[in-house]
Amino acid sequence: MAVQTISKRELTQRTAFSLLVLATAIVAIPVLFIIIYIAVNGAGAISWEFLTQPPSQAGKAGGIFPAIVGTFFLMLGALIFSLPVGVLAGIYLTEYARDNWLTRLINMAILNLAGVPSIVYGLFGLGLFVLAMKFGMSLLAASLTLACQALAITITTSREAIIAVPREYREGSLAVGATKWQTIRHVVLPHALPGIITGAILSMSRAAGETAPILVVGAAFILPGLPTSPFDQFMALPYHLYTAAAHVPGMPKTTIWGIALVLLVVVLSFNSLAVFIRVRIRQRRFGS
Amino acid sequence: MSLDHTLLSNRAVRSAEIQLKTEQVSLFYGTFQALRNISLDIREKAITAIIGPSGCGKSSFLRLFNRMNDLIIGARIDGKVVIDDINIYDRDIDVVELRKRVGMVFQKPNPFPMSVFENVAFGPRRHGRINRGELEGIVERSLRQAALWDEVKDKLGQSALALSGGQQQRLCIARVLAVEPEVILMDEPCSALDPIATLRIEDLMRSLSSDYTIVIVTHNMQQAARVSDMAAFLMMEKDRAGMLVEYGPTSQLFTNPKDKRTEDYITGRFG
């Protein structure tokens, strides 16, 4: 019967649709739960003093100001080292490198870099930056270590953003006698910029959350003040959180949740910034 | 014949000077031969239409003149493409200089995602230092030439992507005019446009042809008949390589084709 066939189709459609909703819920609910749980438990610790004072009594009192500042320094340092190299490498690999086995090998290596466990980057940084290059346990060594890790993401996102630039734009530029470099500089890069920036910011928020690599190249649990040079040791939120939660007996639970909340806010606000910048550039481009 | 004869252009070809020519050109993409032994003389300050069925190599042929095929990996040519007695495929040819002299307008309007002003200023800015006043002069002149000035003079700072399709295509023409080329190549410039926008582009082409040599690839036979002075009919051979079947004044090619295949094509028997 025709009517039956239609209702059967309808049923199939509804089942498929429900499964999709369910799958989305499975992804979304735990994330929301974690955020809300941390916010509820950590809110009590947040105060002006907590955000602006150095820690005292082994972190049980005082604030986490040096850890917040340290995390920002780390992100900044990693950005300064990884962004130019990442973007230039992305340009080279997409625009100039010949498509041969070596290029393909390099591309594969870069993709795999993103999957290397972060502690391995830490040990690499310890070996290269701390010991061999004699930067010591320092902000500089940690920034470079995180930059190496960020490079995999920056190069990959830059390449994808550059490849996504429509061929018509390149042709339009070349057809009025622009050189290849002018075309890249004035047409390809501006168009790829939102993608590149998004990738860079996302890699920064990843760097902000990393604990393992900085553990071995210079992060300290408690320091009396802020680092005064790139060769100083530093505090950072994830490492401070790890030590406070795992190694300080009698640490108030609220303080631990408070640190987690601040870290979460830093990371999420950077991710939101990435989305915001992308939307803004897109609007400006297509807006009238 | 299905074609409306009243549409035929009977314009006399004003100049018999040869601006561009191909000599026994063959084009290969890897092992595939896209064009075979094409020799064609293109007249100065005339509109030459390249017509033919899909896949016969019309666009590939057009792209020989500004070496746009260079962008395709594995593309290789035999024979010569000559401008002013110079083979543009010689080793010491500066492709950037060539593309300044031979501009191109594409099938899909491709304004850059920048302001109207910056789109037109793009070429001149790339070709050396230039002051704001000069640049404004060039932009206005080019937009006027492209019959777009009156429509956009109050929104030069706005995004070019906010313009209509027809305006975008005229903007792309203005962008080419701004670098003062001698030749303008047009690759199916109206295929993405509505009939009214198409007619405006055709009017524009006619007015431009007093100063520029125009080569247009078109699918639209009426368009070729309406705008062009000379027409070349390309067709595929059995191995899919494009070859020149017939070339002559448009009125002659459309009313009195010498080759049976041309006649079959323009009367709509295939293609």
Q: What number is the ipTM of this complex?
A: 0.88
> Would you place residue A274 in the very low, low, confident or very high pLDDT band (cuts 50, 70, 90)?
confident
Q: Count Cβ atoms within 10 A of the Cβ of residue A285 and give its class: 0-12 exposed, 13-18 middle, 19 or more buried.
A: middle
Residue B32 zone, left/alpha/beta (φ > 0; ψ -120 to 50; rest): beta
The nearest CA of chain A is from the CA of B209 a distance in Å of: 19
**pLDDT higher for A36 or B271?**
A36
- Looking at residue B166, its pLDDT comes to 93
A250 in a domain, yes or no? yes
**φ and ψ at B256, to 5 degrees?**
-145, 60
Q: Name the residue of chain B whose CA is nearest to A187's CA.
A: B112
Helices of type H across A95-233: 101-113, 118-125, 139-163, 167-175, 180-183, 189-209, 212-215
A93 in a domain, yes or no? yes
Contact B191, B219 (CB under 8 A): yes
**Can you give the residue range of the structural domain that contains A112?**
68-286
A37 in a domain, yes or no? no
What value does the mean pLDDT take over residues A64-79?
A: 93
Total domains in chain A come to: 1
Q: Is the dihedral of CA B50, B52, B57, B60 positive or negative?
A: positive
pTM score, whole prediction = 0.81
**What domains, with CATH codes, occur in chain B?**
5-112+182-266 (3.40.50.300)
Coil, helix or strand at residue B106: coil
Of B97, B112, B158, the CB nearest to A169: B112
**The two structure tokens encoding residue B252:** 């002659």
CB contact, 8 Å: A132 with chain B?
no
Residue contact B158–A171, C-beta within 8 A: no
CB contact, 8 Å: B121 with chain A?
no
Contact B154, B97 (CB under 8 A): no
CB contact, 8 Å: B128 with chain A?
no
Q: Whose CA is closest to B233, among B210, B258, B202? A: B258
Residue A165 identity: V
The nearest CA of chain A is from the CA of B27 a distance in Å of: 20
User: CB pairs under 8 A, 24+ apart, for B52-55?
Assistant: B52/B233, B52/B234, B52/B235, B52/B242, B52/B245, B52/B265, B52/B271, B53/B235, B53/B236, B53/B265, B53/B270, B53/B271, B54/B219, B54/B271, B55/B236, B55/B240
A21 in a domain, yes or no? no
A9 in a domain, yes or no? no
A44 in a domain, yes or no? no
Instruction: Report A:7-66 residues touching B (Cβ under 8 A).
Output: none
A160 in a domain, yes or no? yes
Residue A12's contacts (CB-CB under 8 Å, 6 or more residues apart) are: none
Q: pLDDT per residue over A86-138, tens digit each?
A: 999 999 999 998 888 999 999 999 989 888 999 999 999 999 999 999 998 89
Q: pLDDT per residue over A200-245, tens digit each?
A: 988 898 889 888 899 889 888 888 778 888 888 889 999 999 999 9
- Looking at residue B178, its pLDDT comes to 96
Q: Name the residue of chain B whose CA is nearest to A284's CA.
A: B159
Where are any strands of DSSP class E within chain A? 55-56, 61-62
Report chain A residues whose CB lies below 8 A from the CB of B68. 171, 174-175
State what percent of residues in chain A have pLDDT above 90.
59
A54 in a domain, yes or no? no
- Looking at residue B4, its pLDDT comes to 43
Residue A50's contacts (CB-CB under 8 Å, 6 or more residues apart) are: A63, A64, A258
pLDDT below 50 — which residues of chain B? 1-14
- Looking at residue B240, its pLDDT comes to 86
CB contact, 8 Å: B183 with chain A?
no
CB contact, 8 Å: B113 with chain A?
yes
Q: How far apart are CA A148 and CA A70, in angstroms?
A: 18
CB contact, 8 Å: B63 with chain A?
no
CB atoms within 10 A of CB B174: 27
Contact B234, B244 (CB under 8 A): yes
In the predicted model, is pLDDT for residue A71 greater than 90? yes
CB contact, 8 Å: B171 with chain A?
no
Q: How far apart are CA A146 and CA A151, in angstroms?
A: 9
The overall average pLDDT reported for chain A is 90
Report chain B residues whose CB lies below 8 A from the CB of A166. 110
Q: Name the residue of chain A whose CA is nearest to B161's CA.
A: A286
Alpha carbon separation from B265 to B7, B54, B59, B234 (Å, rounded): 17, 12, 18, 10
- Looking at residue A279, its pLDDT comes to 85
The nearest CA of chain A is from the CA of B156 a distance in Å of: 11
Q: How far apart are CA B61 and CA B58, in angstroms?
A: 5
CB contact, 8 Å: A127 with chain B?
no
Q: Name the residue of chain A whose CA is nearest to B108's CA.
A: A168
Q: Whose CA is closest to A36, among A264, A208, A194? A: A264
- Looking at residue A179, its pLDDT comes to 94
In the predicted model, is pLDDT for residue A288 greater than 50? no
The nearest CA of chain A is from the CA of B103 a distance in Å of: 6
> Would you place residue A248 in the very low, low, confident or very high pLDDT band (cuts 50, 70, 90)?
confident
Q: What is the CATH number of the domain that holds A228?
A: 1.10.3720.10
